[in-house]
Homo-oligomer: A and B are copies of this chain.
Amino acid sequence: MFWGGRAGGGYIRCRHRLGSMALTREQLIDTAVGVLSEFGLADLSMRRLARELNVQVGALYWHVKSKQELLVDVAAKLLGSVPRPATPTAGAIPLAIASLLQQLRTALITVPDSAEVIQLAQSMRPDALAPLGWLMDFLELAGIPPHEVPYARHLLLNHLLGSIAAHQEFQALAGGPETDSAPDELGQEAFEYGIRVILQGLAMEHPANAA
């Protein structure tokens, strides 16, 4: 959620821009990813970004149209590390789906409020997040009727984002990002359980596909 303590102070180590050379859109996005990763969405304000980059707030609006547009780019960058999987053979589709989702989870789980950012981006520009398109491709490949593919994708996506959000909430209450070993585990188990259940359900609903 976007609520919760305004953590306030705390600067990012590197200023991301020194002296004289012009600010770039890339720098702006990278700084936004940095602030999000370290302090969360509540601290990710345009004014905070301007401070971090040693510019006035207005300057940011020469590079992006709005905060929302910036967040779409932030979301895309968060998923940028997930590699495009090879097209799976017919029998291996459920496995390919599961491993894509696992990669998405890994990319997002350490970034606070990442689920919300992805959801916003997804609702603003459904095409901006390539990996979510791959998911649809896989479901089509599995032989799910075209008009139900979006339903199935939503089901998987809601589970992914929901279980990331739940895990981060839980961690927040437990205080800090889990200093001791076995940091994830419970969230990971819940995540895998859901994937298993949904894939099994899909296999029953669409007897044509492989599972």
Contact = CB atoms under 8 A, between A and B. Distances in A.
Interface stretch (A14-22, A99-107, A199-207): A199-207
Contact of A151 (B120, B161, B190, B199): B190
Categorize the interface residue count of chain A.
35 or more
A48 interface: no
> What is the interface of chain A mostly: helix, strand, loop, or mixed?
helix
B123 A1 contact: yes
Interface of A: 1-3, 68, 116, 119-120, 123, 148, 150-152, 154-155, 157-159, 161-163, 165-166, 169, 189-190, 193-194, 196-202, 204-205
6 contacts: A152-B197, A154-B163, A154-B190, A155-B193, A158-B161, A197-B205
